[in-house]
Amino acid sequence: MTEVLLRADRINKRFGAVVALNDVSLELMAGEVTGLVGDNGAGKSTLVKMFSGVLRPDNGTIRFDGENVDFASPAAARGRGIETVYQDLALVGSMAVWANVYLGRELLTGPAFLNVLDKRRMISNARDMLERFVARVPPVDEPVESLSGGQRQIVAIARAGAWGSKLIIMDEPTAALGVAETRAVEEVIHGLRDRGLTVLVISHNLDQVFRITDRIWVLRRGEVIGSRETGNTRPEEIVAMITGAVPADRLG
Amino acid sequence: MAPASRQHTKALSELAKRHGLLLVFVLVVVAMLLAKPTFGTYQNIVNVLQQNAVIGIIACGMTFAIILGGFDLSVGSVTALASVVGATLMIDVPTFGIPLGIAGAFASCLLVGAVNGWLIAYAGVNPFVATLGTMTVVRGLIYVATNASPRFGVPYSFTSVGLGYIGGIPVPAIIFAIVAVTLGFVLHKTRFGHYVYAVGGNVVAAAGMGINAFRIRFAVYVLVSACAALSGIILIGQTASATPQAALGYELTAIAAVIVGGASLGGGRGRMIGTIIGVFLLGVVANALNLFGVSAFWQPVATGLILIFAVAADGFSKRGTFVLGK
C-alpha cells in the first residue's frame, strides 16, 4: 500500500501575472484516500485540474502509474484511468440512472450499423455496478432528477469508480449535502478505497477530511506546506498549516 | 387529507400526467363519434389522415430538434423549396424528371439543413435566430426564382404519391406511418436517439462523457430538413404543381403538435408517440370544427388554445417546484 500512484514534481502554473502554483510537488499513494486542503485561492482546484486534464502545467512533470503523462484533455486523463467527479454533477437529470452510468459507453446489440442500445443489459449491469460501492442502490430506471442530491452524487461517484479507473478526484463532494447524505457519500468513498481505488478529495470540511482520508496535503498561496498521515496529526496542526501559523516543511 | 386518499390522488395525477394526452385525444374522438355520425365514416377518417400526413412528417423531425433543446423555424420554407425544386425538375426534364426531381428536392433541402446544422452546432448561433434567418432567406429565394408564381404541369402519374391509395389507405398516410415508425425507432432504440436526449438534457454532462454534441446537433438539423423535403415532395403529388407560398406557417403547427405531444422546449424530454397523438389531436379538432361548419379561420384559434392548455396543464402539474439550479 506504499506504492506511489501519482507524483507531481515541481509544478508551476501562472495565469498572467498571478502565480497559481509555485514548484508544487506532491505524491498520492496507491489505494489511499488523500485529502487536499487549503484556504480559498491556495491552488487546490488548479492543481487537480492538471491531474484531470483540464489544465496543463507551465513546467514540471506529472508521473502517473509509472509513466510521465501530459494530458491534452480530460478525455486523455480519463483514458489513463483518472476520473473526476465534478461539483456541478456531470449527470443528465432527465435520463435514467442506468443511462447516466453508461453515458458515452453504451452497450449495443444487433447489427452494427444500427447501433441499437442493449437497454436490458445496461439496466441490470448498472445495478450490479452501483451495488459494488453503494449499500442502498437508487432505482436504476428512475430519472436522475427524481433522486436526492446525495443519491445523485453517489451515482456520479460510483460511475467514476465502476469504469475501472485508478484515481478518482473529487472537488468538494459533499458541499451541498445534509448530514445523513454526507455520511452516505463518505461511505461510498470508503467503498472505493476498499476496492483498491485511489481517491483525491478536495474539502473545506476538516472533520470530514479527518473521517475519510489516510493522508492530508496542505497548500497555501500556491505552495505545498506539507503532508501528514491523518492518524498522526490533529486538526489544530492542519489548521495551523493552512493559515500559515507554522512554516512550510522542508521537502526534498 | 388521509394518507391513503392522498396516495390515491397522487396515483391518479401520475396517471393523468403519463396518459393525459391520450385521454384527452380519446375523449375528443369519442365525443365526436357521438356528436357527429359522419366523423367515424371511412371517408372522413381518410380525410384526416390525408390532411395531417404532411405536417405529421415534419413534426416527426421536429421532435428531434425540440428534444435537443432547439427547434427549426425553417421547415415551412424548406417544404416549399422541395416542392418548387422538385416540381420544376419534373416539369422541365423530359426523361427521368421524376427521380431527378425527388433527388433535387432532397439535395436542396439537405443543403439548407446542413447550413442550419452548421450555424447552430459549430458557429454557436441560437436556433431561433439561425432558422428564422434560413426560413426568410429560403422563402425569399423561392420567390426570386419563381417570380412568386406557381409551377404547373407535373406529370399526372406523380399524383399517386399525393392522392393515391394502397389497400384503402392514402399514400401520404402510409409514408407518414413509415417515417413515424422509423424515426421512433431511431429516437428510442438507437444510440443516436439516446445522445439526442443526452445533449438536450445536459450538454455539458454529455460532452464531458465524450459525446460529440456538435455532430449530434448538426445531424438533427439535417434530419429535420430531410423530413421537410419529403413533405414537400408529397405536396407536389397532392396538386401536380408547386406554389412558392406553400407550407406557410407549417413550422408553428409542427412545433405546436410536438409540444402538445409532451415534449419540452427546454430539451431532454418528449416522445415520438406523443408527437403523433399531438398531430392527430390538432387534426381531429380541426376536422371537428369543419364538420360542425365552423369557419376555417377558427382553426388557428383552436390550435393555439390547445397549445396553451397543454403547456399550462403541464406547468400546473409541476407548480411549486422552483428550485435553484434547475
Residue A228, pLDDT above cutoff 90: yes
CA dihedral for B67, B57, B103, B75, sign (positive or negative) = negative
- Reported ipTM: 0.85
B191 closest CB neighbour out of A94, A100, A108: A108
Element (H, E) at A33: strand A33-37
Compare CB distances from B191 to A90, A100, A106 and report the shortest one's residue: A106
**Cβ-contact B231, B79 below 8 angstroms:** yes
| Gap between the Cα atoms of B117 and B222, Å rounded | 6
pLDDT value of residue B73 = 97
Average pLDDT over residues A191-196: 89
Q: What angle do CA B179, B181, B182 make, to 5 degrees?
A: 65
C-alpha torsion sign, points B314, B24, B19, B73: negative
Of A74, A92, A106, the CB nearest to B205: A92
pLDDT in tens, B293-307: 999 899 889 989 988
Task: Read off the pLDDT of residues A6-30 as tens digits, 9 standing for 90 and up.
Answer: 999 999 999 999 999 999 999 999 9
- Chain A, 110 to 149: residues with Cβ < 8 Å from chain B are 114-117
Gap between the Cα atoms of A83 and A163, Å rounded = 9
Cβ of A92 within 8 Å of Cβ of B202? The answer is yes
Kindly list the residues from chain A whose CB atom is less than 8 angstroms away from the CB atom of residue B205. Answer: 89-92, 100, 103
β-sheet bridge partners, residue B1: none
Of A75, A89, A115, the CB nearest to B191: A115
Quickly count: other Cβ atoms within 10 Å of residue A10's Cβ.
13
What domains, with CATH codes, occur in chain A? 4-243 (3.40.50.300)
A36 alpha carbon, distance to own chain's centre = 11
B192 contacts on A by Cβ (under 8 Å): 115
Distances from the Cα of A47 to the Cα of A20, A170, A199, A218, A240, angstroms: 9, 12, 15, 12, 21
- HSE (CB half, 13 Å, CA atoms) of B81? 29
Residue A117 has its nearest CB partner, among B190, B206, B209, at B190
pLDDT digits (tens, 9 = 90+) for A104-134: 999 999 898 999 999 999 999 999 988 888 8
Residues of B in contact with A76 (CB under 8 A): none
Work out how many CB contacts closer than 8 A connect A with B: 61
Q: Is the pLDDT of residue A103 over 70?
A: yes
Identify all chain B residues contacting A104, using CB atoms and an 8 Å cutoff: 206, 209-211
Is B198 at the interface with chain A, CB within 8 A?
Answer: yes
Mean pLDDT of B20-31: 92
Examine the pLDDT at A249 and tell me if it is beyond 70: no
Q: Do A103 and B206 touch (CB under 8 A)?
A: yes
CA distances from A115 to A51, A119, B193, B202, B272 (A): 33, 12, 10, 22, 19
Confidence of residue B1 (pLDDT cuts 50, 70, 90): very low
Better pLDDT: A69 or B313? A69
Q: Does B271 touch chain A (CB under 8 A)?
A: no
Across the interface, which of A75, A89, A95 has its CB nearest the CB of B197?
A95
User: Across the interface, do B269 and A94 touch by the CB < 8 Å criterion?
Assistant: yes
CA distance A187 to B295: 67
Q: Is the pLDDT of residue A252 over 70?
A: no
**Residue A58 pLDDT grade (very low, low, confident, very high; cuts 50, 70, 90):** very high
Q: Which of A49, A83, A101, A103 to mutate against chain B (most B CBs within 10 Å)?
A: A103
Rounded-to-integer distance, Cα B68 and Cα B220, Å: 8
**Chain A interface mutation, best of B209, B265, B318, highest count of A Cβ atoms under 10 Å:** B209
Bigger pLDDT: B48 vs A88: B48
Distance, CA of A130 to CA of B91 (rounded, Å):
63
The helices-and-strands tally (H runs, E runs) of chain B is 13, 4
Specify the DSSP class assigned to residue B243: -
Given this model, what pLDDT does residue B6 score? 65
* A92/B268 Cβ within 8 A: yes
Confidence band, pLDDT 50/70/90 cuts, at residue B310: confident
Q: List all residues of chain B from 83 to 142 with a beta carbon under 8 Å from chain A.
A: none
Scanning the structure block, which residue is given the C-alpha cell 437497454? A119
Confidence of residue A138 (pLDDT cuts 50, 70, 90): confident
**pLDDT, tens digit, 9 for 90 and up, residues B89-143:** 999 998 899 999 999 999 999 999 999 999 999 999 999 999 999 999 999 999 9
pLDDT of residue A1: 47
Quote the mean pLDDT of chain B: 92
**Does residue B194 sit at the A interface (CB-CB below 8 Å)?**
yes
Which residues, numbered 75 to 94 in chain A, qualify as contacts with chain B under a Cβ-Cβ cut-off of 8 Å? 75, 78, 86, 88-94
What pLDDT, on a 0 to 100 scale, did the predictor assign at position B161?
94
Chain A, 210 to 239: residues with Cβ < 8 Å from chain B are none
The full set of domains in chain B, from first to last, is 42-288 (1.10.3470)
> In this predicted structure, what is the pLDDT of residue B8?
73
Q: Residue A148: pLDDT band by 50, 70, 90 thresholds?
A: confident
**B207-213: average pLDDT:** 90
